[in-house]
A and B are shown apart, each in its own frame.
Chain A
Amino acid sequence: MKVARAGWLLVCPALAAIVAFFVLPVAAALALSFTDFDIYALADLRNVRFVGFDNYLHLLQTPLFWQALGNTLYFVVVGVPLSIAASLGAAMLVNSRLARFKHFHRTALFAPVVTTLVAAAVVWRYLLHTRYGLVNQGLAGLGLGPVDWLGDPRWAMPAIILMSVWKNFGYNMVIFLAGLQSIPAELYEAASIDGASRWQQFRVVTLPSLAPMMLMVAILTMAAHFQLFAEPYVMTQGGPAQRTVTVLYFMYEEGFKWWSLGSASAVAFVLFLFMFAITLLQMHVARRTGA
């Protein structure tokens, strides 16, 4: 009994911090999502009305919300596998016995993660410029026509994905690198004695050994990708034709451009439910496959 009380006493400070900085704001945001808190309410709190689930119902009828959700899913479905593949590929290259200057390469590949996004975005906007950009000059060298990366509704999201993968793959690469280094060399030796090809070794030794990391990386990457905001904010401002408006960008505009904090909170909770459901699904799949 006494031990239990001491335990509670010890976690008390941490709990207090969590309650003050996490539970309370989340509860307040939830309460806000059932009101029509807006610019008028900012002037006078008596202008707030309780609207029940109206914000949620209206949200489900707003075409832009669905478009934003579609854009976000597009980014997640294409971006997450691409990002993980890039991370794994880079990790294997750096980990390869043939690689030289490993430290240098590891640092260089990790560098985009620690660069400031806004600065990187400025450079990327030059790279992606329709007429003067390096990317289009490269395409022209291959005989391909110029692509209006950030102005064409079809290409804006791929451009954002490209930049986002470049910006973020280094982080997962480091995690995979740690995983790769912990795989015993004997497993590869045994596999090669059994006559396994490089590809077979990758499939039956590397991938299964990395499975727990893969699960964690997948969940983290997905969660991060669902919260895409900064890239479209600095690169396209949600355009063209709202093709790069993501759920979070939509929420930002509702909340801080139009100051409809009530409906912005509702967006936040819908996004939370979405991510929660998908994470549960991932865990379920992982448990079934025994990772």
Chain B
Amino acid sequence: MGECTHDPGRRRFLAGIAALAGGCADRAGEPAGLRFWAMGREGEVARELLADFERANPDIRLDIQGLPWTAAHEKLLTAFAGDVTPDVCQLGNTWIPEFAALDALEPLDARLAASPAIARDDYFPGIWETNVVDGRLFGVPWYVDTRVLFYRRDLLAAAGFSQPPRDWAEWRRAMAAVKRRAGEGNFAILLPLNEYGPLLALALQQDEALLREGGRWGNFRGEGFRRALGFYLELFESGLAPPANDTQIANLWDEFARGHFSFYISGPWNIGEFKRRLPERLQDAWMTAPLPGPAGPGASIAGGSSLAVFRRSRHKDAAWRLVEYLSRPETQRRFHALTGNLPPRRAAWAGTLADDAHARAFRDQLERARPLPRVPEWERIATEMRLVTERVVLGDLPAGRAPAEIDARVDRLLEKRRWMLARGPR
């Protein structure tokens, strides 16, 4: 606790002043008011999750603020511009390169090396990687999110497949068989056009990276992406997937229950949703499976959220203690019980989670999760990829022109980055 004084007399005195000055305890610096921002459901459960932490650390007063996911990114950038960033924040791990580029985050390598609580080797490697930008660590994974296959076991069995598919060829045959039985108006798989996740997962299964030369240029014209795009588009062309976005599917779970589609690529949050929303009679009829790859079980996206400490924080030691507490396996198990979020370290998977049949596919998939390219422009690049692909599916653009079109857009987005890298660090 370098920045915080332990002299209780002084603290009482300052607290008195703060009270007189209208409660601006933060500005007086004492007691350590630790500002922690978390998004969505995580923000809602943070207080409950951290009650023990507050009891064990009376010198830290937690100030927890929940943000809605839709406004979180804007809010954080505005906070950065206005110099009011929190001490600790939950960050979607694709945002880390962006905030690292802003120089808003505290590098954590030294603290990690000195910390017995966080064992790097215990974390799934792909998830850990998402927090490393240019060789420096800027976050500690809090929970993971990867995409696996949700499927109807009964419909697949009726179509003659007792096991979920493991590679693309098998998957293709299974989808064709399911579609034949499902008939006109029904499909084999749902790939919503307003989501880039499924195509991105297929693209990450390839050996080639999506960006080349250190994230300077797009590599969507490369053999790898073409293969993934070809497989993806084939599903629409052969009528296995409806050319729809997910707002057109009025209720995903109803349609899944009705057999409108039998495969769906989604993340851990849908385990809870499927359990809650599918009718009782179907509870044994659905299962999750690792994502099939071009040849055998494939890779998937290493998504999720990390905990980051902001550079401007005046309570970095206290902030790191919070990160350590949230990273403990037992805290993570409690966090899973509260939210259904999957833990990023293997130790936390022991116990109830290991017996959860629906989570097993995720456990397996996480060993093969791969990080997305770590450039600040990534979110926009993925959006452009989705928009161009949507145009192909809707017939606005010939499929052959899509890779070059995506690359043209991506190369323009990366122009500033190339200029910055060429100029070297200042």
The interface of chain A, by Cβ under 8 A from chain B, is: 36, 38-40, 42-44, 46-47, 49, 129-131, 148, 150-152, 239-242, 256-259
B245 at the A interface (CB under 8 A): yes
On whether the beta carbons of A150 and B426 are closer than 8 Å, the reply is no
Q: Are A148 and B74 in contact (CB under 8 A)?
A: no
Contact mask B211-251 → A, CB, 8 Å, 1/0? 00000000000000000000000000000000011011010
Provide the B360-391 mask, 1 if CB < 8 A to any CB of A, else 0: 00000000000000001000100000010010
- A46-B426 contact in complex given A40-B420, A148-B248, A241-B394, C-beta closer than 8 Å: yes
Annotate B64-92 by CB proximity to A: 1 below 8 A, 0 otherwise: 00000000011001001100000000000
Report B-chain residues with C-beta under 8 Å of the C-beta of A151. Answer: 244-245, 247-248
- Complex CA–CA separation, A256 to B77 (angstroms): 9
| Contact call A239/B194, Cβ cutoff below 8 A | yes
Going nearest first, the 4 A-B pairs with the smallest beta carbon separation are A151-B248, A43-B102, A151-B247, A131-B250
CB-CB under 8 A from A258, the residues of chain B are: 380
Shortest CB–CB separation between residue A35 and chain B, in angstroms?
Answer: 12
Complex Cα–Cα for A259 and B95 (A): 13
Contact with A along B91-115 (1 / 0, CB 8 A): 0000000100111100000000000
Query: A241 touches which one: B80, B380, B390 (CB < 8 A)?
Result: B390
Q: Which residue of B lies closest to A146 (CB)?
A: B250
The verdict on A39 contacting B248 (CB below 8 Å), with A46-B426, A47-B420 known, is no
C-alpha gap A38/B102 in the complex (Å):
11
- Residues of B367-426 at the interface with A, using a CB-CB cut-off of 8 Å, are 376, 380, 387, 390, 394, 416, 419-420, 426
Q: Is the CB of B98 within 8 A of A240?
A: no
- Closest A residue by C-beta to B426: A46
Q: Bound complex: CA of A151 vs CA of B245, how far in Å?
A: 8
- The contact sample of 15 A-B pairs, CB cut-off 8 A, is A36-B416, A39-B102, A40-B376, A40-B416, A42-B81, A43-B102, A43-B104, A49-B419, A151-B245, A151-B248, A239-B194, A240-B245, A240-B247, A241-B193, A241-B394
A residues less than 8 Å from B98 (CB atoms): 39
- Cβ of B80 and Cβ of A239 under 8 Å apart? no
Establish whether residues A150 and B247, one from each chain, have CB atoms under 8 Å apart when the complex forms: yes
Bound Cα distance A204, B205 (Å): 73
User: Which residue of A38, A42, A44, A152 contacts B80 across the interface (Cβ within 8 Å)?
Assistant: A42
Contact between chains at A38 and B387 (CB < 8 Å): no
Q: Compute how far the CA of A150 lies from the CA of B426 in the bound complex, rounded to whole angstroms.
A: 49
Chain B residues within an 8 Å CB radius of A131: 250
Determine the residue in chain A with the shortest Cβ distance to B98: A39
Contact A130 B250, CB 8 Å, known A40-B416, A42-B80, A257-B74: yes
Known: A39-B98, A43-B103. 9 other contacts (CB 8 A): A39-B376, A42-B77, A49-B419, A151-B244, A151-B247, A240-B194, A240-B245, A256-B74, A257-B74
B291 to chain A, nearest CB (A): 26
B387 pairs with A242, CB closer than 8 A: yes
The smallest C-beta distance from A123 to any residue of chain B, in angstroms, reads 18
Bound-state Cα–Cα, A204 to B322, Å: 77
Assembly CA distance A130 to B194 (angstroms): 18
Residues 230-274 (chain B) with a chain A CB within 8 angstroms? 244-245, 247-248, 250
Cα–Cα, bound, A40→B101 (Å):
7
Docked pose: A129 CA to B416 CA in angstroms: 43
- Compute how far the CA of A5 lies from the CA of B394 in the bound complex, rounded to whole angstroms: 67
CB closest residue in chain A, given B194: A239
A239 & B416 in contact (Cβ 8 Å cutoff): no
A174 to B247, CA, bound (A): 37
Question: What's the nearest-Cβ distance from chain B to residue A150, in Å?
Answer: 6
- A236's closest neighbor in chain B, by CB? B247
Contacts of B244 in A (CB 8 A): 151
Instruction: Enumerate chain A residues within 8 angstroms of B387, measured Cβ to Cβ.
Output: 242
Are the CB atoms of A44 and B426 closer together than 8 Å?
yes
Which of chain B's residues have a CB closer than 8 A to the CB of A257? 73-74
A120 to chain B, nearest CB (A): 19
A242 to B384, CA, bound (A): 12
Q: Which residues of A contact B74 (CB under 8 A)?
A: 256-257
Please measure, in the bound complex, the distance between the C-alpha atom of A38 and the C-alpha atom of B77, giving whole angstroms: 11
Q: How far is the CA of A40 from the CA of B99 in the complex (A)?
A: 10
A39 partner residues in chain B, CB cutoff 8 A: 77, 98, 101-102, 376
Q: A150 vs B77: C-alpha distance in the bound complex, in angstroms?
A: 30
A39, B73: Cα distance in complex, Å: 12
- Quote the shortest CB–CB distance from B243 to chain A (angstroms): 10
Query: Complex Cα distance A151/B250, Å?
Result: 9
Nearest Cβ distance between residue B391 and chain A, in whole angstroms? 8
> Which A residues lie within 8 Å of B104 (CB)?
43
Chain A residues with CB below 8 A from B250, complex form: 129-131
Report the minimal beta-carbon distance from B289 to chain A, rounded to whole angstroms.
Answer: 29
Provide the residues of chain A in CB contact with B102, threshold 8 Å: 39, 42-43
Tell me the minimal C-beta distance from B49 to chain A in angstroms. Answer: 30
Chain A residues lying within 8 Å of B426, measured Cβ to Cβ, are 44, 46
